[in-house]
Amino acid sequence: MIIRIVKMGFVPDQIDAFLKIFEENKYKIRNFEGCHYVELLQDTQQPNQFFTYSHWESEEHLNNYRNSSLFKSVWSNTKNKFNQKPEAWSVRKR
């Protein structure tokens, strides 16, 4: 099991647009082959900072998602709302 954490910072007036994109696509992501869980978290001190937290069956499943038309569509509509470079980590529970 791979846990993927992605940190994203948004231009404040683009947050609502991002939240709409996430709401429209979260079930598609959750139903993507190999995805067991996905949620969106918001920083309590910096409300323009968000994190996606997702569980993937394997690195291969995650990469299949990252190469999919779903990811490309979501990402292309999201990245123009950033005010900083996103950061991502793939980790495992111990």
Domain ranges (residues) in the chain: 26-45+60-85
> What beta strand segments (E) does the chain contain?
2-9, 35-42, 49-56, 87-91
Of residues 22, 29, 26, the one with CA closest to residue 8: 22
Q: Note the pLDDT of residue 26.
A: 97
Instruction: Using DSSP, state whether 29 is helix, strand or coil.
Output: helix
Q: Which amino acid is at 2?
A: I
- Tens of pLDDT, residue by residue over 29-83, are 999 999 999 999 999 999 999 999 999 999 999 999 999 999 999 999 999 999 9
pTM listed for this prediction: 0.93
d(CA 92, CA 68): 23
